[in-house]
Every structure is written in structure tokens, then in C-alpha cells.
Amino acid sequence: MNMLFIAGPAGSGKSLLTSTLSTWIERFEYSVCKVNLDPASELLPYVPDVDARRYVNARELMIRRGLGPNGALLASMDELLNYVVDIKTEIEDCRADYVLVDLPGQLEVIAFRLLGPRLLHELAEGSNAAVIFLIDARLVSKMYSAYSLLLLALSTMYRLNLPMVLAVNKIDLVVDLTAYSDRKLYEKLYEVLPIYKLLSEYGECPSIIASEGFLSTSISIQLCEIFRQSIKPPTPISAREAVGLDSLIAEVENVVATYKEG
Ligand SMILES: Nc1nc2c(ncn2[C@@H]2O[C@H](COP(=O)(O)OP(=O)(O)OP(=O)(O)O)[C@@H](O)[C@H]2O)c(=O)[nH]1
Ligand SMILES: [Mg+2]
């Protein structure tokens, strides 16, 4: 069983990707189990096979315990840990080739507290697990935002300790998808999204940083080197247009195989 945790900041497209990717995978005759692990979600673009809201409801916790929306999400994830065996049993009962787990957008819950990694590791046990970390293309059109999102992605990767693939989603909003072939599309993205310059193997860190008018300090140069050593250029996708999903799955298979080799 392949278990893909779909993570990323709020609004990056996790739920829509869960929907689009499941339809795409099913076209190849593989079965998919869609898991909503966000107790605070309201409308979803897919019908979940397993749903955290069956066990815990963030809205109900807000009212019952007088919590604000963020506190209620943290409390509901804490409560969810009590049901991890039930959720895992439901997932196993799906008997699916792929399990897509739609995570909450509040990364603090997933990556910076104890329960997120525990919950994910318990669910992932016994399967080929990987994290797809989504970044909204519109948010990496500046070098400084590419830095902050990459730092977020890296800390999520180290905290979760699972193989991770980075994907830039919503590319339909930054390039005209009908105007470019695959190779040209990559060139265009390199031109419009500094994150590709930052992570590509071309050019030296100091000149790339300077060319984008970013603060050229020894720390920003060292960070650039660290990003290049630890993160591959992100897979460009559009969850809305179902673009790039073949490359995304190929990349997931790559990182899972590399992780297994140790
Ligand atoms: N144009 C475009 N819009 C997208 C794409 N992916 C998602 N969206 C839109 O972005 C908005 C947020 O998408 P969601 O799938 O709800 O994002 P999310 O990461 O699940 O959000 P939270 O669960 O609130 O963190 C919705 O309006 C989606 O339709 C995409 O590839 N292209
Ligand atoms: Mg969502």
C-alpha cells in the first residue's frame, strides 16, 4: 500500500489535489482510499472514504470548550490520536493500492507538535509512505518568499522524518498552460518563479541571489547551498487542470525507493 500525505500551508490546494490525484490514479486501474484528516474542514471537493470528522469535530469542540478556531484544531488533533487505531482499521479495510491523506493546512499541528508526527507515523506503519508538500505558485514569485516556504518545507521534512516531494501547485495561475510544451513550460517557470533558479543546478548561489535583488549575506548564501543539497527542484503541477501528476507520482516513487535504500 502506498500512503501519500498531502501537506502544505493553508490554501495551497491539498484537498483539490486529493480529489484530482485520486481520479487520475483510478484511470490506471489502481484503487484509491481518500482520507480526510482535517477535523475542521467543511466543504471538500471529494467524498472521503475515511473521515476524521466522524471521530472529532473541530467546530463542535469550539463551542463545547469555548476555544478559538486555532485552539480547536489543535485540541481536535489531540483527540484524534485516541482514534488512530479505528482510523487505521478503516484505511486497511479500504484495501486500496493508494491512500491519499488530506492534511490540515495549519502546519503547526502537523510538523511542530508531538501529535502530528506520531499520528502520521502510526498511520504510515507498514506502507510505502511519502509526503507531498504543496507550495502555491503565486507565493514563490519572489526570492524572499521562496526562502521562507523552503524553510517551512525543510522543517516539516525533518520533523516528520518521511520521504518528501516538493510540488509547486496552481501553475495555471502563473503561466498559460496551453502555450508551452513540457520543456518550454519548465523554462518559463524558471523565468517567472525564482524558486526554480534557487534550486536548479545552474549558476552559483551568490550570483543568483544578487540577480533577484535578494539580501546577499553569508547566511542567505549558505541557506541557498543547503536548499540545493537537500531539495530537488519542485515538481510543477496544477491540481485544477490535472497537469504534472505523472511527474509527481514518478517523483514520489523515486524518493520512496531512495529512502528504502537508506
Ligand atoms: N487555479 C487553481 N486553483 C487551485 C488549484 N489547486 C487548488 N486551487 C484552489 O485553491 C483554493 C484552495 O484549495 P484547497 O484544495 O481547499 O486548499 P487546501 O490546501 O486544502 O486548503 P486548507 O485545507 O484550507 O488548508 C480553492 O479555491 C481551490 O479551487 C490549482 O491548481 N489551480
Ligand atoms: Mg483542505
Q: What is the 3-state secondary structure (H, E, C) of 123-175?
A: HHCCCEEEEEEEEEHHHHCCHHHHHHHHHHHHHHHHHHCCCEEEEEECHHHCC
End-to-end CA distance of the chain: 20
Which residue's CA lies nearest to atom 10 of ligand 1?
13
Phi, psi (deg, nearest 5) at residue 122: -65, -40
Looking at CATH, the fold of the domain delimited by 2-170+234-261 is given as: Rossmann fold (3.40.50)
For residues 51 and 22, give the distance between their C-alpha atoms in angstroms, rounded to a whole number. 16
- Beta-bridged to residue 101, according to DSSP, are 5, 35
Which ligand lies nearest to the CA atom of residue 248 in the structure? 1
pLDDT: which is higher, 141 or 170: 170
138 touches ligand 1 (CB under 6 Å) = no
Grid cell 506520531 — which residue? 118
For residues 70 and 194, give the distance between their C-alpha atoms in angstroms, rounded to a whole number. 32
pLDDT band at 114 (very low <50, low <70, confident <90, very high): confident
Residue 175 pLDDT > 90:
yes
pLDDT at site 221: 92
12 touches ligand 1 (CB under 6 Å) = yes
Tell me how far the alpha carbon of residue 202 lies from the centroid of ligand 2, in angstroms.
35
Segments making up each domain of the chain, as ranges: 2-170+234-261
20 touches ligand 1 (CB under 6 Å) = no
Residue 261 pLDDT > 90:
no
- Are 167 and 134 in contact by the 8 Å Cβ rule? The answer is yes
Q: 51: number of CA atoms within 13 Å, CB side?
A: 14
pLDDT at site 146: 93
53 touches ligand 1 (CB under 6 Å) = no
15 touches ligand 1 (CB under 6 Å) = yes
pLDDT (tens digit per residue) in 61-77:
899 999 998 888 888 88
Which residue's CA lies nearest to atom 32 of ligand 1?
170
